[in-house]
Structures are given as structure tokens and as C-alpha cells.
Chain A
Amino acid sequence: MNGPFKTRSINEITYAPLTRRSFLKFGAAAAAAYAGFSVALSPLKDLKEHLSIEEFLQQHYERLTAEHMQKILARIEKEIERDYHVRATVKDIKPMHGVEYAFALNIGKCIGCRRCVYGCMAENNTSRDPQIQYIRVLEMKKGSQNVEESEHYYDHEWVPQADKYYMPVQCQQCQNPPCTKACPVKATWQEPDGIIVVDYNWCIGCRYCMAACPYWARRFNFAKPALPPEDINTDMAYLGNRIRPRGVVEKCTFCLRRVRQGMQPACVEVCPTGSRVFGNVRDPKSPIHYILNNKRVYIFKEEAGTIPRFYYCFDV
């Protein structure tokens, strides 16, 4: 082949002797590569502070042995003490045998005072800033079931208002949950007692479950939860109310720490009207069983096919 292209062959360029110019070129390229690499990996530097090797290598909840779980709980306690200056006890509480929870809310009695919302925040260590609340109280027009017309930012001097009724909405603990099906890593699942839980250490924060939930029951930790030390509930459960890390999804767990030890959820304990009723639906003597047998009951967004364990009822 003749022409200008033949004057310098590839071999000539590759094996050219080291000149001042080629040294400088190579040095500049290497410096650029190093700078680019370090910038690209700099987020890992932040991660190293808060993601230990043990946490990175932690197994899925269902594959953990008791010994592993003990180590993980100790690590979480240490992390909480480091970040929040509070000595907490984190337990992994297993579901009771032969128990299935259900919840009933009497919308005829609820007056929309929002005591439950703040009782829930105190029990579950939800972030105060940015604020995370599991319960949303909808103020509805009497005679209407249209939630599109409801108002949840109402701020009256007194409740209840004359022409309104109030409908608190929280996680409905569905028997056919769409959120667990949407999770790509199986970080959320349904426990044998019906509670849908999230493993905060396994969650990757993709928020697919939030998009799948028809009740807007799930909340995302956009920032590390800010909690004043005197507000922290130091009795914590691994799947329940322990302080969440940043970038994970959380939700109402029927106060898993309380109910699996026989206590009632925090929202039931503070409700001044007694419109909230909680119990074991498999026990024929339980109040929840009485409500399902004797009261008029409906479920929220029945057409979604989620079959909630949360029932809205009213006196005849």
C-alpha cells in the first residue's frame, strides 16, 4: 500500500522510544485516570463508616441461625449507642403459635383527635425530622366514601366537626399483600401470625413496595432518622421498632414488639374513644371475633383484592 498512511506503522508507534513528550503524555493520562477512579469510588468512603463487613456479609433473615442473630443484635445495639447515645435492647421476637392478628376500627366512634398517631411515633421510634407517621387520619364528608375528597391535614380547634367523620388509615396487613410480591430481594414478607415485616438490613431501598401498596402505608427514610435521646423507646425488636438506617422502607407492624409479648398495640392503648380493637382472630372469645360476628364490617379498597386484616366497623 502506498500513501501517507504507510509512513508510520502501528509497530513504530507502539515501540517508540521514551521521549520527554511521551512521558508527559503518559503521566497526564495516569493522573487523570487516578483522579477519575478516586472520584468514582468516593461514595464508598462514606459507606465504610456505616457499613461494616459483618453487615455487608449478613445473610437473609430466614437463613440466620440463633448464633448469627445474637451477633447481629449485639452489633445493632452498639450502632444505636454510637449514633444516638442510648443503651437499647434489641430482641428478635418470634411469632406466637396458632395466633393470627386482626384489627377493627369503629368509624362511628373515631373523632379524629390523632392521639393514635403520636402514640405510634413514640412506640415505634419513627423519625421526627423528616417526620414519619404510620397512621394517617382522613377527614371524610358524612355520607361519602370517596377518599379523593378527604382531607388529612385538617387542623380544627375542636374535633369532631359536625358534618365530618374520620377514618384512620395505616398498614392493612393484607392476606394477599401486593407489596411483598413487588420486592425484588425478598426483604419484606408475611409472618405466620399475619404481620407483614421488613428486614431493614436486607432492604435495598428501591421503593417498589411503596408503589405497589394501594393504601400508602409504607414510608421511606430519606435521611437518617433524627430522634432526641429522651424520646427513644429503648425496647426494640429486630423486625419492628428498632431505629431504621437511612434509605430503607418501614411500615406499621401492629407494634410487633408489643403484640408478640401479649400486649396491645400503642394506638389501641392511647385511643380515648375506644374505637380501636385488636385481638387474635382465631380465638372465638376474643373481642375481634365478636366484632366480625356481630357488627357491620367493611374493608378498605375491597376492589384491590388485597383482603386486609384491618376491618372498619360501625354500630348499627
Chain B
Amino acid sequence: MFILKKRRAVFLYISTACCTLIFYSCVLFASQAEDQNTPVIRDVIPLPQNWLDASPVRGKPQLTFYLTQFLYKCNECHIDLKTPTYECDKYVKMPTAFHLPLGAHRDMVFNHGINMRCFNCHNCANLETYIDYDGSEIPADRPVLLCRKCHGTTYRDWAAGVHGRINGYWDTSGGAQEKLECNQCHNPHHPHFPLLVPRPPPSQARIPHIKKGKHREHE
């Protein structure tokens, strides 16, 4: 009767397994039915637009000046008021108080190493331009030509396209390139690149963020 006994045991095992499996499959199908109502896309907050802002650090500076909220060009004061001759002296230092009566140039920060004289760069005769070594004028919208007077190696890098950002096409046959000028990143009176606020660090969570009860991770 050994076989009979064994067969009975096998039957008991099968029936137990059967009950378990049926119960498990019922649970599984029930949970799937619940899933069909949940959305495919989980709620995610879009990246803030200012995180993707790629404009240069200083915008596009010009030789203009704000005084009591009005925009002035240099010559509006300096032609009428006639720059005094002693100010045209090459040795006038930058952080002086000679504009204080009008409040002009007061909030400037000067930190350009040993380059401390106004008329090393500015043209005394026409303050809307810069000045070259030979006394010729450099237009205000080409500060590169001015800065290369001293920063020759940097200018070489810039001309080769490896100093400062280049926007646009790497393949110049396909489209145009846009090169930034010096003063779009560096303040000429304080040329150190400004400190920036870093974007947030990477998330340390390796699993999706799921709101309890409302959203289930559904594939």
C-alpha cells in the first residue's frame, strides 16, 4: 500500500498549491484592474525656465551711464562740462571723488590690478570711444580691440575660439556663430568672473517619487 499512501500525500500537496495559486492570481488580477484607472504620466514639476537661461553674465554693456534713473551717454556731460585738463592727465587714478558733486560713477568698484588710470583705456578727447596705444580711437562696440592691448595671449585664444563661449554652429558652413565680447562676461573695472549661484545638486533618490494613495508607478 506504499504507492497509495504516497499518492494521497501528492494529492494533498497539489490541492494546497492549487488553493494558494488561485488566491494569489485573484489578488494579482484585482490589483491590475485597479491600475487601469491610474494615469500613465506621473505628476512632475517642469524645470524652471530661469534654470535654462543662457544669456551672458553681464548682458550687452554699452558706454552709457544711469544717473537718477535716466540713461545718459558719456558726451552729454563731458562735452558740455568740458573735462578739465588735469583729468586728462594719464596719471589720474580711478577711485577718485571728482564726480561726487553729480553723484556720477560713485558706485563703481575698481579692482583691475595695476591698471589704475582712467585714460589707459578711455579716450580723453571723446569719452564715447576707447583709445589705442597710438592715440587712435577704438569704437565702443569692439572692446576686444582695447583689451588685447594688454591681454595678448587671451586675445589669441579668443580669436581661435577657445576663450569665452561660442554660440551657434560648430560647422560654420551650416550656420552662423556668435562670439561673446570681453565685457559681456567681465566687468572692465573689476574683471574677475562673478560668483554665481549653483543649480541644485542631483537628487539622491533612486526611486520615483510617488504620492501615497493617489499615484502608482504604472507601466
B52 adjacent to A270 (CB under 8 Å): yes
B46 adjacent to A274 (CB under 8 Å): no
B167 adjacent to A269 (CB under 8 Å): yes
A contact residues vs B (CB 8 Å cutoff):
4-5, 8, 13, 25, 28-29, 31-32, 35-36, 38-39, 42, 45-46, 50, 83-85, 96, 104, 106, 109, 111-115, 117-119, 121-122, 128-131, 133, 136, 152-160, 222-224, 226-231, 246, 259, 261-264, 268-274, 276-280, 286-287, 290-291, 294-295, 315
Given A39-B25, A130-B208: A31 in contact with B217 (beta carbons within 8 A):
no
In the complex, whether B138 has a CB less than 8 A from a CB of chain A is no
Cβ–Cβ < 8 Å partners of B113 in chain A:
none
Given A130-B206, A159-B196: A121 in contact with B167 (beta carbons within 8 A):
no
Given A4-B2, A122-B52: A25 in contact with B11 (beta carbons within 8 A):
yes
For A10, give the chain B residue with the smallest CB separation.
B3
B175's partner among A13, A118, A263, A274 (CB-CB below 8 A) is: A263
Cβ–Cβ < 8 Å partners of B84 in chain A:
none
Interface residues of B in 180-219 (CB under 8 A from A): 180, 185, 193, 195-209, 217, 219
Residue interface bits B141-180, CB-to-A below 8 A is 1, else 0? 0000000000000000100111111111111011100001
Determine the distance from Cα of A223 to Cα of B11 in the docked complex, in whole angstroms: 42
A290 adjacent to B167 (CB under 8 Å): no
Q: List 13 A-B contacts (CB under 8 A).
A: A113-B199, A114-B200, A115-B54, A222-B208, A223-B219, A224-B40, A226-B44, A227-B41, A228-B45, A274-B163, A280-B171, A287-B161, A287-B166
Task: Report the minimal beta-carbon distance from A169 to chain B, rounded to whole angstroms.
Answer: 12
B15 adjacent to A39 (CB under 8 Å): no
For A130, give the chain B residue with the smallest CB separation.
B208
Cβ–Cβ < 8 Å partners of B171 in chain A:
96, 262, 280
In the complex, whether B98 has a CB less than 8 A from a CB of chain A is no
B contact residues vs A (CB 8 Å cutoff):
1-4, 11, 14-15, 17-18, 21-22, 24-25, 28, 32, 40-42, 44-47, 51-52, 54, 56-57, 157, 160-171, 173-175, 180, 185, 193, 195-209, 217, 219
Determine the distance from Cα of A278 to Cα of B169 in the docked complex, in whole angstroms: 10
Given A42-B28, A128-B44, A269-B54: A35 in contact with B167 (beta carbons within 8 A):
no
Cβ–Cβ < 8 Å partners of B45 in chain A:
128, 228
- Please classify the interface of chain A as helix (H, G, I), strand (E, B), loop, or mixed, using the class held by over half of its residues: mixed
B162 adjacent to A119 (CB under 8 Å): no
A28 adjacent to B21 (CB under 8 Å): no
A119 adjacent to B52 (CB under 8 Å): yes
Determine the distance from Cα of A224 to Cα of B210 in the docked complex, in whole angstroms: 13
B208 adjacent to A291 (CB under 8 Å): no
Q: Which 5 A-B pairs have the closest CB atoms?
A: A262-B174, A32-B18, A274-B165, A262-B171, A287-B161
Determine the distance from Cα of A246 to Cα of B174 in the docked complex, in whole angstroms: 35
A118 adjacent to B197 (CB under 8 Å): no
